[in-house]
Amino acid sequence: MDIVYAELVFDEGSKNSCHTAFCVFEDPSDEGKRQSTSSIGSGVSEDRTTHRFSSISSTSELSIQSFVEQMEDDLDMEESIKFLNEKWKEDEQETPAISYVCSGVTVIGDGKIVVSTKSGEIALYGATGKFLSMKKFSESFQGLTNTAIYDIAISCGNCICFYRVEKNKVQRNNEKCIEFRYADVSDIHYVDKGFIISCRIQSQVLIMKIDMEGNILKTLEHVVTSVDHFCCCSSGETIFLIERDHRRITAIKQDGSVIWELTIDYVPTYVTLAGKDRIAVSLMGRPDVKCMTLTGNILGPIDTGLDPACTPLMLAYSAQLDSLVFCPEEIKRPKSLKKNPFSKVISFAKLD
């Protein structure tokens, strides 16, 4: 969508103070539908492109930079909704229902929340869960982790790709990509200028530590047949594994030795570090989240206030809010095509 015309409107009697701005841009619904019609007897073409009008009013003084940034944010929102509408229309012809399967949720340095899907979407939310934008990429995403302020890394096949989050935009870093030549990477966690990864080689699931170039620094001797999700403590020395089939939570060291194991009554689904001294585990079919210390002592549960039908819930921790962040693994499309399925999927629970 292109901006056709934009200007700041200065306050009466002033050449510097500005609190109102206007913008005219082409209507994205008319893209590719421009018509040039010859006027009768004149041979002069008339451009009938439809334009849209937008304005900004502010109690604080506007600058050209702030105006352009605001319009760019508006355009990002328009493009996200345009993409969703096109995707809904395409999918509606193939199947009456569709859902997005999330592959991860994380919180970056400024408190913004990022959600990735297995079909290649990355959705961005404000620190309080407000939907900001969504962008479709060609990759099929698996694990998601934050790496440094504003940066995220996502595993896709045998690669780990990097993305930059700036304001309300998500852009791929085309200059950086780790190609892991041994196997597909199913889950990742950034720690100590590298990654702890899980990957499947034949019938075994291996946990490895790699550097930023993809070189294997360590392979954990603790071998399991299934690791559905994991997280690490801040130092990376302790790794917490989720095994759904065995209803088991296991804490191991980087040398592969088991620190503790806990088998529970419900199926554990996802785990996250919650602050510095505990982990939180979501449960299949349960509206509450199980909490425990890093040494395996069970703490009181946290009620999510959500319908158990929303489970399994993906988890992250917001240090800014000192709260757990929840996102359903499956985001269902609403019946109305005008509703954004990504708009209200983030929820929170304050830690005690």
Shared-domain flag, residues 90 and 119: no
- The verdict on 14 and 128 lying in the same domain is no
Say yes or no: 191 and 86 in one domain. Answer: no
Domain holding 219, by residue range, is 99-350
* pLDDT band, very low/low/confident/very high, at 181 (cuts 50, 70, 90): confident
Bridge partners for 280 per DSSP: 272, 291
Both 224 and 315 in one domain: the answer is yes
> What pLDDT digit, counting tens, does each position of 305-329 carry?
999 999 999 999 999 999 999 999 9
Q: Are 188 and 249 in a shared domain?
A: yes
Peptide linkage before 334 cis (omega within 30 of 0): no
Q: Are residues 118 and 20 in the same domain?
A: no
What is the Cα–Cα distance from 222 to 306, expressed in whole angstroms?
35
Q: Is residue 71 part of a domain?
A: yes
The answer to whether residue 41 sits within a structural domain is: no
Quick one: 90 and 105 in the same domain?
A: no
- 283 Cβ neighbours under 8 A, 6+ residues apart: 264, 266, 267, 268, 269, 289, 290, 311, 312
Q: Is residue 57 part of a domain?
A: yes
Q: Do both 186 and 257 map to the same domain?
A: yes
CATH number at residue 113: 2.130.10.10
106 shares its domain with 79: no
Co-location of 72 and 124 in the same domain: no
Residues 88 and 113 in one domain: no
Who contacts 85 (Cβ-Cβ below 8 Å, separation ≥6)?
Answer: 337
Which of these, 280, 267, 350, lies nearest to 312 by C-alpha position?
Answer: 267
Is 137 within the bounds of a domain?
yes
Last residue of a domain, one of 40, 72, 94: 94
Side chain identity, residue 148: A
Contact 230, 198 (CB under 8 A): yes
pLDDT tens string 213-244: 999 999 887 666 688 999 998 778 899 999 99
Give how many domains the chain has, as a whole number.
2
Q: Measure the CA–CA gap between 296 and 135, rounded to whole angstroms.
A: 39
The verdict on residue 74 lying in a domain is yes
Asked if the structure places residue 159 within a domain, the reply is: yes
Please choose, from the candidates 32, 124, 142, the residue with its C-alpha nearest in 3D space to the C-alpha of residue 340: 124
Token match 């890394």: residue? Answer: 153
Q: Which residues contact 344 (CB under 8 A, 6 or more apart)?
A: 131
CB 144 within 8 A of CB 105: yes
236 vs 135 pLDDT, higher one = 135
- Looking at residue 182, its pLDDT comes to 81
pLDDT at 168 over 50: yes
Residue pair 283/268 in contact (Cβ under 8 Å)? The answer is yes
Q: Is residue 182 domain-resident?
A: yes
Position 43 in a domain? no
Say yes or no: 292 and 190 in one domain. yes
Range with the lowest mean pLDDT among 131-135, 146-150, 272-276? 146-150
| Amino acid 11: pLDDT | 54
